[in-house]
Chain A
Amino acid sequence: MARTRAPERTLLPSDEPLSLLRKDGSPVDDSPLAMPDDDVLVELYRRMVVGRRFDTQATSLTKQGRLAVYPSSRGQEACEVGSVLALRPTDWLFPTYRDSVALVTRGVDPAETLTLLQGGWHLGYDPYEHRVGPQCTPLATNTLHAVGFAHAARLKGEDTAALVFVGDGATSEGDTHEALNFAGVWKAPVVFLVQNNGYAISVPMSKQNAAPSLAHKGIGYGVPSVLVDGNDVAAVYAVVREAVLSGGPTLIEALTYRIEAHTNADDATRYRTSDEVAAWLDRDPVDRLETYLTSRGLLDNARRAAITAEAEEFAASVRSKMNVDVEPSPDDLFEHVYASMPRHLREQATALREELA
C-alpha cells in the first residue's frame, strides 16, 4: 500500500545544503539527516570506487575510438551512487546520458550501458529487467515519463517510486516544469534529482537560474524541496531514501561538480578556471567518505586494497567487452519500428539486402 506524505515535510529548502559529512570527512553534528548504517556506508564507498574506475575506463575507450562519445560523471559519484542505492528493488530509475555510473550501480551490464555511446544501437539493456528507463538525450523529457510511470503504479496499487535525473540546464526546459506540476497535482511518487554540476555545457548557473536555488523551483508546484550537498554521498542517500519512502513527489537539488569537460568534444578551459576545478577536487566525494570510514575503523588497508582490486577487475572486464568490434546487422534497421513490419518496410529491407548481396 502506498504511503502518504509525512506531514512535517515542508516545501521550502534549507538555506544551506543538507550534509552529513564535511569536506574534510568529519561528521556534521547537528544534521537533520540520519547517518546511513555502517554497512550501507561501506557499500556506498565500494560502489563509488568501482563507478569512478568505470568512468575513467569509459573515457579511455573514447580516446581509443571505441566509444563515439562519453559524458563523464567524474566528481558526481555521490549523486549517481547515493541515489541509486537508496532505491528499493521495485523502484524505477529514469536516467540521462550522463548517468552511466548510476546504471552500472543499478546492476546493468557495463557493455549494455555503453551500447548507446558505442554506436551499436540506441539502447543495450532491457528496461524491465533492471527497472531502468532508457537513457534520455533530449533534456527533461524523461521527467514526464517518470511522472506517468509513477502515477500508473499508483493507479495499479503498486508501491513503486520513480527517480528521475536531470541536470541544472534541464531545469530550464518546459518539461521539467510540466512534470513538477503534474507530480504536485497527482501527488505522484516521483523523486526529481537535479545534479547541479554548475554548467549546462558551458553556460554557468548565473545565466541559467534567478531563483535562490534550483530546489526553490519546487515551491510553486507544491512539491517538497530539498537542497543537499551533492558531494556527500551519505547525505544524498539519506534524502533520496526519505523522498522515496514519502510516497509523494520531491525535488532534490544536489550541489556537485563535473571534474571533466561536458564530453570529450568539449574544451572546459574556455569557460572555467583551474582554481575552480581545484576547489572542487578538494571536496571530492570518494576521498571524503574514505576519510570518514577510516576514522571510524570501517575501512582498513586490506579492505581498501580489495575494493581497489575489484574496481580494476571491473575496468578490465569493461575493456575486454568493449574491445570487440560491433557489427549490427543492416536488417536491424527495419525491426521494431512497428510491432509487426509493414509492407513498405519489408520492401525496403529486401531492397537493401539485394544492394548488399
Chain B
Amino acid sequence: MSAVSMAGALNRALADSLADDPSVLVFGEDVGALGGVFRVTDGLAARFGEQRVFDTPLAESGIVGTAIGMAMNGLRPVVEMQFDAFAYPAFEQITSHLAKLRNRTRGRVSLPVVIRVPYGGGIGGVEHHCDSSEAYYTHTPGLRVVTPGTPDDAYRLLRDSIASPDPVIFLEPKRRYWAKGSLSTSGDPIGFDRALVRRAGRDVTLIAYGPMVVTALETAEAAAEEGWDVEVVDLRSLSPFDDETVCASVRRTGRAVVVHEASGFGGYGAEVVARVTERCFHHLHAPVLRVTGFDIPYPPPKLEEHHLPSVDRILDAIARLQWDDEVVGSYGA
C-alpha cells in the first residue's frame, strides 16, 4: 500500500499490463516521448519501445479506426484521446464499428480496445477541453463505460478494462489526476462492472462517479454536521449499470440524489433516476433528485465554478428531501 496520484496509478496500470501481455499496445497523440499531456504514459515508450508505445498522426478517427483493425488482428490497443471533446471526430468509428462489430459478426470478431478519455472540467481549461461526454457513450450498446473516482480504482479499473474482451470507454476525471490516495496492486478483484459503497449511511444515498466521488464524500462529511447520515455510492461502471448495489443502498436509505458534472437534460443522471424510481418506488420517501451541470455548453474557466456541482448545491438537494417528511410524516427508520 502506497500513496500515489491518479495519473501515477494509471501509469502503473499501463506499465503492468504492457509487461504482462505482449499483445498490449499504447498509442495516440503525444503519448511517446512526451508521456502524454497529463504524463499518464510517462516513461512507457522508453521502457517498452516504439513498437509498443508510439505517437500517431494527429487524427482521432484514424487512431480509433486503426485500433479496430489491430484488435481484429489479435492485438489489444489502449489509445488516448487527449481531451474529451477531441474524441468527437472518432465518434463514428466508436459507435458504428467499435461498439457493433462483435454483434454484427455474431461473436466472431472481438475488439478488446480501451479508449482512454481525460474528461470533465475543474482545471481551468479552455473550451473543448472540459466536456463530460459519458451520455454519448453509455447510450451506445456494446460499449463498456467506466470511470474511476480514486487512484486505487484507477489502477484496478484500467487493468480490468485492458483485460476485457469488450471495448471500453475509460473516462479519466482529469481534475483528479493529481489527487493522491492509497494504491493496492494486489487484493481481491472487485470486478469492473460493480458499483461500490464508498461511505455507509442511513438517511440518504448520494450516487456519484468519476470527478464527483470526492465531492460527494466531502458533502457527506458536511451533511453529518447537519444531522444527515449520508451513504455514498460510487458507480465506477456507468454501463453496464450495477442496479443491484445502487438499489440495495436506496432501499436502505429511502432517499437518493444523483450527482454529475455533465448537463442534466438527457444526461446520465436521468437514467439513474429512472432506474431507481422503477425499482425502488415503494421504498422511496421523496423523489430522486439530480444535481448536475447546467444545460449550457461548458463555460469559460472564470465561470466554471458556478457550473460545477458544489458541496453546497448537493447539501441543498439533500435538504429538499425532507419535503416528504413534512407532508406525509416519517417512513422507515
Contact = CB atoms under 8 A, between A and B. Distances in A.
Greatest chain B CB density within 10 A among A134, A138, A144, A185 is at: A144
Given A144-B93, A178-B59, A121 B106 contact: yes
Interface in A327-357: 332, 335-339, 342-344
B51 A145 contact: no
Greatest chain B CB density within 10 A among A162, A338, A339 is at: A338
B170 interface: no
Contact of A151 (B70, B104, B241): B70
Contacts of B70: 148-149, 151-152, 155
Nearest to B95: A138
24 contacts: A123-B104, A123-B105, A133-B72, A141-B97, A143-B65, A144-B65, A144-B68, A149-B70, A149-B72, A149-B73, A151-B69, A151-B70, A153-B73, A155-B70, A174-B61, A181-B57, A181-B59, A182-B62, A335-B106, A337-B142, A339-B110, A339-B165, A342-B193, A343-B240
A338 B62 contact: no
Interface of B: 25, 51, 56-57, 59, 61-62, 64-75, 89, 92-93, 96-97, 100-110, 141-142, 144, 164-166, 193, 240-241, 243-244
Nearest to B67: A148
A156 interface: yes
Contacts of B89: 174
Interface in A174-203: 174-175, 178-179, 181-182, 185
Nearest to B56: A182
A127 B65 contact: no
A144 B66 contact: yes
A161 to B, nearest CB: 12
B73 A156 contact: yes
B78 to A, nearest CB: 14
Given A156-B74, A335-B107, A144 B102 contact: no
Given A148-B65, A148-B72, A155 B51 contact: yes
A148 B68 contact: yes
Contacts of A303: none
Contacts of B244: 343
A131 B64 CA distance: 21
A150 interface: yes
A123 B109 CA distance: 11
A147 B109 contact: no
Contact of A145 (B72, B164, B165, B166): B72
Nearest to B193: A342
B95 to A, nearest CB: 10
Nearest to B242: A343
B75 A152 contact: yes
A339 B68 contact: no
A138 B105 contact: no
Contacts of B25: 155
Interface in A105-155: 121-123, 126-128, 133-134, 138, 141, 143-153, 155
A-B pairs with lowest CB-CB distance, top 9: A148-B69, A144-B65, A148-B66, A178-B62, A152-B73, A149-B69, A145-B69, A339-B165, A122-B104
Contacts of B241: 344
Contacts of A127: 72, 105, 108-109
Contacts of B71: 148
A141 B144 contact: no
Nearest to B60: A178
A128 B108 contact: yes
Contacts of A149: 69-70, 72-73
Nearest to A160: B73
Interface in A309-325: none
A134 B106 contact: no
Nearest to B62: A178
Nearest to A332: B106
Interface string A301-312: 000000000000
A142 to B, nearest CB: 9
B141 A337 contact: yes
Contacts of B100: 122
A344 B246 CA distance: 14
Nearest to B54: A186
Nearest to A342: B240
Contacts of A148: 65-73
Contacts of B106: 121, 123, 332, 335-336
A345 B97 CA distance: 20
B73 A134 contact: no
A198 B65 CA distance: 27
Contacts of A147: 62, 65-66, 69
Given A145-B68, A149-B72, A178 B240 contact: no
A189 to B, nearest CB: 12
A36 B65 CA distance: 35
Contacts of A151: 66, 69-70
Greatest chain A CB density within 10 A among B61, B65, B89, B103 is at: B65
A122 B65 contact: no
A338 B101 contact: no
Contacts of A153: 73
Given A122-B103, A152-B74, A179 B92 contact: no
B93 A141 contact: yes
Contacts of A162: 69
B120 to A, nearest CB: 25
Given A123-B106, A145-B68, A149-B69, A339 B166 contact: yes
B324 to A, nearest CB: 29
A149 B97 CA distance: 14
Nearest to B142: A337
A126 B104 CA distance: 11
A144 B101 CA distance: 14
B240 A179 contact: no
Contact of A338 (B56, B104, B108, B144): B144
